[in-house]
Amino acid sequence: MADKKFLRRQKIPMAEIEKECDRYATFSKRRSGLYKKARALIGLYDDVDIGIIMFSPTGKPYSFFHPTVDASVVRLLNPNTLPSESNHLAAENSRNRVKELKVKLDEYDITKNDETDEINWWDSIKEFDADEVKTHQIWFKSIDEGFKNCLMQLENGASPSTQAPPEDPNLAGSDF
């Protein structure tokens, strides 16, 4: 055991990824990681303005803004000035919506079972009323349609949509 060597993080030299499919996969993973970090910052801090713009290896643009594009751009260009009344109202509305959704998410009582380490989904689902069941049913249908759409685009050689699936069940029916 004393002679056993442990693998640690190794420094990887900066170079273009040669294989095209590896380059696309890496971009996708890094984009997802950045979006997760941005959502985490939004969850931790109330008045954060975040703007991310990136381009895929094929030149396709991707973006993430919170609370709004206008608020993020104005804040970037003029960090010491106050936003206009309309931008301020839009930003506050967006922030309040995020807070409401976070509270709603926290209300779902999803607990872990210590023995199996599985999530007891059924305990929280049994407490849904008819409206919540219908809302989730619509949301799942929209996700199913989005997956079918992405699959069809991939089969036809087109790139999938740039938008993530809606986190809000009320946005069901909008294409992603």
Q: Where are the domains of the chain?
A: 20-107, 116-176
pLDDT of residue 123: 66
- Evaluate whether 121 touches 156 at the Cβ level (below 8 Å): no
Q: Distance between CA 51 and CA 71 in Å, rounded? A: 9
Give the model confidence (pLDDT) of 41-51 as tens digits. 888 887 788 88
Average predicted confidence (pLDDT) for the chain: 76
Task: State pTM to two decimals.
Answer: 0.47
Range 70-75 average pLDDT: 80
Give the model confidence (pLDDT) of 22-40 as tens digits. 999 999 999 999 999 998 8
Spatial CB neighbours of 104, under 8 Å, sequence gap ≥ 6? none
In this structure, is the dihedral angle defined by the CA atoms of residues 78, 83, 86 and 88, taken in order, positive or negative?
positive
pLDDT of residue 173: 47
CA proximity to 95, closest of 138, 31, 50, 47: 47
- Evaluate whether 153 touches 86 at the Cβ level (below 8 Å): no
Share above pLDDT 90 across residues of the chain, in percent, rounded to a whole number = 15
Structural domain 20-107, CATH architecture:
3-Layer(aba) Sandwich (3.40)
Q: Distance between CA 149 and CA 7 in Å, rounded? A: 42
Give the model confidence (pLDDT) of 81-132 as tens digits. 776 777 778 778 887 887 788 777 777 655 444 444 455 666 667 777 888 8
- Evaluate whether 65 touches 79 at the Cβ level (below 8 Å): no
> Which pair of structure tokens corresponds to residue 151?
């699959």
pLDDT of residue 133: 83
pLDDT of residue 26: 92
